[in-house]
Structure 1
């Protein structure tokens, strides 16, 4: 499948900020100007029908084509939009060409992009309700999480009711397979084995999980992981298999403890104000594309996991540690405080407990 446009930029003019083809520099200038524009009552890039002045709908992600499990779903989303709205509608920027992981949601709130694909672990500190789907050992894993995050599910409805007033709307979720613990020097078979180890985590929920087991969470980008593991800067990481395979990390970690140490999703978000300004045809097309992404994109992701990623890791020198029920119970008990921490982070006990119930009941 071919992306709608390349990550080098969209060949469109966005007056009044550019009189010629738009490039990354002018987009970043627009991002910098956005707060002043908002203060003046002018939404950047807005037009009468909610699309951009030239009729474009901008989609951005930092995810690269190297993630052969995740990227096809994003392409399907774009193709669905194009089929509904026209082949020249979607301006697509991948691989962080427009906004990197830290910039994506703030940039979307400022109108730099209309739709952004973001990993939940990157933003659950700002939007704690998302953590309901990231907690360790709270359900039976991937399939249950997939049901919990399905379009129009009770959890998704509750999440959106919470997210919309904060400026973003989830229009499609792709749950990733469960996160394992990967270590360099010794396997983790019981909670105490992680004590004192420096473990890379991608989000706050994972960080609390690592701390509950006596480890020290370390934040760094996935691009830095190979060198950090090779040099001993970190002792391991929490990750789903896609990161291991896409970054070639099976060569530098020696042990993998397979259990539900956490989970996250890669979600399609829209700027709430922008979404509300679009016409019914655009809104329906976005909902349709989000459903395609959630269903067919997740199907592809899991197929790649089953047929490519898992066999590749199993065939590597990596030793996979399979835990029995008693061992899993010991990790569940040791990490139970993470749930209490998350409920406090949400700041609304009733809301948090309802979200957690929807995850467990899915």
Structure 2
């Protein structure tokens, strides 16, 4: 039987897991830590023009500067691994690095929830420097990630414009109260937790299936970043955007910590150059360039009505978000959680 590369990676992941459980008698040899060929992945397709801008250039920099020390194989659009397969594959050493949306993996890696906490994301969005490389918050995140043998090379220099509530003409959401009882597509655990008290029917639907879900009425609304809306042409099915910042995320490059630590100086320098560029350019390119200049005009052209939240709704939502903070602190530890929130809010 001839295995495809995708099958080989999957079987390799299972084999590595088996070796962990039953010893080293695996059919697959462990990957050499100093391999000259690095395999990277992202599940995002090219239609996500803003979100793939950073990863594409990151990989280009690796290839341009790799010389004799680093060759790169990179697979987008889930060609090699789907979104939910990337983190297990990284941990099993089936791949060397991945670009992942932080909101997708906060249940597996809770410290990344700081990038999506309701009531915090607005401040992080307005102050991207708080998540820049070398910032106290980034240092804290990587300190916690190291306990799980993970390393985030860069946040991209902040978080993307927050996710808002977008709804259909048949089920409009123009205020916080109108969220009640709606069927809402949400990926972020943090946003789901924040909206629990509104008796929503939270549904985790892949972005590739969301257009049909909205069209068929399977869901009434979704909590989306504008990249998801444009990337999947959801503006064709949406009629309202209620711009209350619900949650947020970034798309970040990750490696295993021991892989990073084990790189020779020349190879690490190549990755460092790419990560430095990513930190300085990715988020700013999206938030200050593509979004205001291209994406929001497309939303307006599609006839989507933009509703700014009232001061009362903003206050109510932000006050209730403290319950989400407490839940999150229970996952990451009170001391770490309180410190991370203080750093994100500029209070430490």
Q: Does TM, normalized by the shorter one, top 0.5?
A: yes
1:345 to 2:331 alignment: yes
Q: Contact 2:124 / 2:345 at 8 angstroms: preserved in 1?
A: no
1:340, CA displacement in angstroms?
1.8
CA RMSD between the two structures:
2.3
Other-structure match for 1:306: 292
Closer/same/farther in 2, CA of residues 172 and 160 from structure 1, 3 Å limit: same
Which residue is 1:40 aligned to?
A: 24
The counterpart of 2:305, out of the listed 319, 343, 348, is 319
**Contact 1:141 1:260 (8 Å CA) reproduced:** no
1:41 Cα deviation from its structure 2 partner = 8.6
- Cα drift, residue 179 of structure 1: 0.6
Alignment partner of 1:178 is 2:174 = no
In structure 2, which of residues 44, 64, 67 is the aligned counterpart of residue 63 of structure 1? 44
What is the aligned counterpart of 2:185 among 176, 191, 200?
200
Structure 1 match to 2:252? 267
Correspondence for 2:73 among 85, 91, 98: 91
CA offset digits 1:246-272 (Å, max 9, x no partner): 111111121110121110111100012
Cα offset for 1:177? 1.1
Which secondary structure state, in structure 1, belongs to the residue aligned with residue 212 of structure 2?
Answer: helix
Aligned positions, number: 339
Alignment of 1:146-295 (within 5 A): 146-174=128-156, 175-184=159-168, 185-295=170-280
Change (3 A) 1:280 1:62: same
SS in structure 1 at match of 2:326 = helix
- Residue of structure 2 equivalent to 1:103: 85
3-state DSSP of counterpart to 1:81: helix
More helix by share: 2
1:3-29 Cα deviation digits (max 9, x unpaired): xxxxxxxxxxxxxxxxx9973333333
1:324 CA displacement: 3.5
Cα distance, 1:286–1:41 mapped onto 2, change above 3 Å: farther
User: For residues 139 and 105 of structure 1, what CA distance do their matches in structure 2 show?
Assistant: 24
Indicate the residue corresponding to 1:15 in structure 2. Answer: none
Cα deviation per residue 1:181-218 (whole Å; 9 max; x = unaligned)?
Answer: 01123443433211111111112112112213332211
> How far apart, CA to CA, are the structure 1 residues paired with 2:242 and 2:196?
17
Provide runs of 4+ in structure 1 moved above 4 Å: 41-45
Instruction: Tell me how far 1:307 sits from its aligned partner.
Output: 1.1
1:147 Cα deviation (Å)? 1.8
**If the length of structure 1 is used for normalisation, what is the TM-score?**
0.87
What is the rounded CA distance, in whole Å, between the counterparts of 2:321 and 2:94 in structure 1? 39
The answer to whether residue 66 in structure 2 is matched with residue 80 in structure 1 is no
In the alignment, structure 1 residue 124 sits paired with structure 2 residue 80? no
Comparing 317-326 with 228-237, greater Cα deviation is found at 317-326
What is the distance in 1 between the residues matched to 2:267 and 2:227? Answer: 32
How far off its partner does 1:290 sit?
1.4
Distance 2:108 2:293 in 1: 35
TM-score, scaled relative to structure 2: 0.90
Q: Could you give the per-residue CA deviations for residues 59-106 of structure 1, whole angstroms, max 9, x where no partner exists?
A: 111011110001111011112212332287111011111111101011
Change in CA separation of 1:94 and 1:44 when aligned onto 2, cut-off 3 Å: farther
Question: CA separation in 1, counterparts of 2:340 and 2:12?
Answer: 37
Asked if residue 355 in structure 1 is aligned to residue 336 in structure 2, the reply is no
SS, match of residue 98 in structure 2 = strand
**Which runs of 5 or more structure 1 residues have no equivalent in the other structure?**
1-19
Give the drift of 1:44. 5.0
Q: Which runs of 5+ in 2 are unaligned?
A: none
- How far does residue 284 in structure 1 lie from its aligned partner after superposition? 2.4
Q: CA deviation at 1:293?
A: 1.2
SS at match of 1:343: helix
Three-state SS of the structure 2 residue aligned to 1:283 is helix
Deviates most, 155-164 or 270-279: 270-279
The whole-number CA distance in structure 2 between the counterparts of 1:35 and 1:21 is 19
